[in-house]
Copies of this chain bind each other. A is one copy, B any other.
Amino acid sequence: MKPALLINQVVQKVRAEGGRMTAQRRVILEALVAHPGHPTADEIFASVRRVDPSINLSTVYRTLRWLEENGFVAPRWFEDDHRRERFDPLTGTHTSGEHFHFRCRVCNRIIEFDEPLLAEVCAAFEQRSGARVESAALVLYGVCARCR
């Protein structure tokens, strides 16, 4: 459903920026790709440590920030643990403003969906208010099918 973010693309971009493809970055990327859903920095850190225990948390953060700045992941926050940043690997299958999240309060899983009505909601608001809408974040909270 959601094709994995391709490591090759990242390598290419790193080099294009005059950066270096380090062992740490490779491990972090692999952890991110392998992770289902929207991991936090220390979930990634935990995976990464199993492969190379010498990797530091700040390296994980720096790598995730780099990925964010270069459009490979997007930061997300959800109302329950709103302080922990979560990283949403971007795949190009849906662009920002066109998809939303559902978070199950039982299993904490996050489900991603496209929602055509959302565009209408934005358009309606623009008309009514005179504002220009540039992006939208919709999060639904509840209990997923599996947990009911």
Q: Is the CB of B131 within 8 A of A142?
A: yes
Interface of A, secondary structure class, is: mixed
Smallest CB separation, A134 vs chain B (Å): 4
Interface string of A129-147 (1 = CB under 8 A from B): 1111111111111111100
Instruction: Identify A138's interface contact among B85, B105, B136, CB under 8 A.
Output: B136
Cβ of A50 < 8 Å from any Cβ of B? no
Residue of B nearest to A83 (CB): B83
- Supposing A111-B129, A129-B111 touch, asked if A134 and B142 sit within 8 A by C-beta, the answer is yes
Cβ of A1 < 8 Å from any Cβ of B? no
Q: Is the CB of A117 within 8 A of B121?
A: yes
Which residues from B are CB-within-8-Å of A77? 77, 79, 82
